Amino acid sequence: MIKSRQAIASFALSDKIKSGLIWASAACDQAAGFEGLARQGAVAVAEHLLSMVLNETVLVRQASGDADWDEAVRLMDKARVMIRSGVPAEASFHLTRALSVVTRIGRQAGEALRRQGLL
């Protein structure tokens, strides 16, 4: 059973992280369409955006103590490797999988809070 503290942290931040993942995925797709200096700049923006989302994810992992967040972190790390390798379009696959993981975590946390009468 999920503890209240764990569920509150996971539920509260899951939507923020999902939004960030959608933005990061869109940035990767945009970066893939550019050439030359514009591509370099777009790739840098995508990488920085993903880094911010990844930092938030690590923070919620620490705040909640929920090991389920480790899978999302792993997938975001894979996406970051793709971005740094110059293939930002390939990062979208991993970001989409991370989005699914975060959605599941948020749903489970919401269900736990409802069972506990906190939501």
Helix boundaries (H) for the chain: 4-32, 36-64, 69-84, 88-115
Q: What is the pLDDT of residue 119?
A: 83
Give buried/exposed letters for 100-114 (b at 16+ CB in 10 A, else e).
Answer: ebbbebbebbbebbe
Q: What is the pLDDT of residue 1?
A: 56
Distance CA 6, CA 29 (A): 33
Q: What is the pLDDT of residue 24?
A: 96
Q: What is the pLDDT of residue 3?
A: 81
pTM of the entire structure? 0.91
Q: Which pLDDT tens digit goes with each residue over 51-98?
A: 999 999 999 999 888 899 999 999 999 999 999 999 999 999 999 999
Total of domains in the chain: 1
Q: Which domain range does residue 9 map to?
A: 4-115
Taking the CB of residue 44, how many other CB atoms lie within 10 A of it? Answer: 13
Q: Which pLDDT tens digit goes with each residue over 17-64?
A: 999 999 999 999 999 999 999 999 999 999 999 999 999 999 999 988
Output the domain CATH number for residue 104. Answer: 1.20.120
The better pLDDT of the pair 48, 4 is held by 48
